[in-house]
Amino acid sequence: MIISHDLGTTGDKATLVDADGRVLAAVTETYPTDFGPHGKAEQDPDHWWAAVCAAGRRLLERVPHARVEAVSFSGQMMGAVLVDGAGRPTRPAIIWADTRSTDQTARMLDRVGMEKAYAITGHRLNPTYSLTKVMWVRDHEPEAFDATRHLLLAKDYVVHRLTGEFVTDPSDASSTNAYDQTAGGWSEDLLDAAELPRSLFPEIVASTTVVGRVTGEAASASGMPAGTPVVLGGGDGPMAALGAGILSPADGAYAYLGSSSWISLAADAPLHDPGMRTMTFNHVVPGRFVPTATMQAGGASLEWIVSTLDPDGDDGRFDRLLGGAAQVAAAEDGLFFLPHLLGERSPYWNPRARAVFAGLARHHGPDHLTRAVLEGVAFNLYTGLRAFTENGARISGVDAIGGAANSALLLRIFADVWGVPVRRRELVDEATSLGAAIVGGVGVGLFDGFEVAQRFADDRAEEAPSPSAHERYGHEYEVFLDAYRRLEPWFETL
């Protein structure tokens, strides 16, 4: 059996998976985020470690006779965990949502240029990435920077706590704005422009690498048997693609509906969009890539509207609000929501963007607001989908994973906006953890190859698009785009 950990934005989901791909148990341990002014978003890496230890112990209590053959990881990407030579954090981790490094990004743009950086990394230069976050620490917190010896990503930090090793994998490396996808290593051009030493950046090894074994000290803290093989794993985006069965260009696309949300597919080479609306990560499958359009606040927009409209409600408040939103007809009322609560990545790459309700009228109530949020998320992801098809990708349907994929209304809105069938996977909540388990199983020889992913999760529901609704949404989508274009200069004044 494999224990996989998915270190997300709000918590660690730990899953116990057997050799047939069955999820025997899954538990989640949450941790807080420190959101602050000027785009601050930080977490305590020791909260991740405590969550991994607690979740792992709970799993083993549920299945007390489990024979654990490996532990593997998926983790939130694009962050910066700065640690000293002993692996102790020199400051809190800066996570993907942090956008404070706008000045450092401007400096990189002056020195490298956007087009050159995009050609090297498959990504725009942007404050959401690791590289300029490290520059920000150097510029604003020199004592913490001087004490730093290693840059890690979220999963890498926990792997270090288990094994003592400092490594990362290509999928996470490709989320840093410092990785050369053609050369397959850290970019000297970008590190020189950032004036950062190569020694900060860890060795890059395959996602399936057995980095080491659980040490005695880590075993005491985590409850994991000492000597258990630790497989490195990868970033949560590419890992979600694997868990959704997206291994090759023939497998279509998938949408992940978590705090941040994205639409993605698999490719044999990086997909460079002339408009640079999308980015490309390395897959955890060697030789494959994951072109992706990621929005900062997909599921987070849904969480926000629910907590805002019903702050003291019970566990059923989400379903109640969606039920009300289902009574509002598609694209009929002239109310729009621009879902940029945390700035935006795809398609605008504007950390200054902010969320907006446009077209509010006196008669609008909670149902209309909720419906507008759902449609705003669908519109924003649609821009990424169009970028893929405009660059030659063939997408006949989309598999949906992540917690919000449980909503039939959301899937129907997606299908109608996007004009393609949208399917719900069997394991919508555990797809990323399943991907991590598959990587772990391949790493220790439990699974023959990554292809097992395609038999481990079936489609459970499908929403087909309504041609008439898709036509109406086509007009509304253009209005949605126009609203952003008109507001973009105003965002700069905030």
Catalytic residues: 236
Expressed in angstroms, the distance from the first to the final Cα of the chain is 52
Whether residue 347 is preceded by a cis peptide bond, meaning omega within 30 degrees of 0, is yes
Structure token digits, residue 384: 């990424």
26 Cβ contact list (under 8 Å, min separation 6):
13, 14, 15, 16, 59, 429, 430, 433
* Torsion angles phi and psi, residue 84, rounded to 5: -85, -170
Nearest in space to 427 (alpha carbons), one of 400, 409, 407, 394: 400
* Torsion angles phi and psi, residue 329, rounded to 5: -65, 155
Q: How many CB atoms lie within 10 A of CB 426?
A: 15
**Residue type at position 31:** Y
CB 62 within 8 Å of CB 20: no
Q: Give CA 391 to chain center in angstroms.
A: 23
For helices 236-243 and 431-444, what crossing angle results, to 10°?
90
Nearest in space to 48 (alpha carbons), one of 30, 25, 71, 26: 30
How many angstroms separate the CA atoms of 383 and 280, rounded?
Answer: 16
How many angstroms separate the CA atoms of 479 and 458, rounded?
Answer: 37
β-strand pairing of 203-204 with 34-36: unpaired
389, containing H or E segment: helix 366-390
Whether residue 291 is preceded by a cis peptide bond, meaning omega within 30 degrees of 0, is no
CB 3 within 8 Å of CB 24: no
Backbone angle region of 13, left / alpha / beta, with phi > 0 → left and psi within -120 to 50 → alpha:
beta
Instruction: Give rounded-to-5 percent helix, strand, coil for the chain.
Output: 40, 20, 35
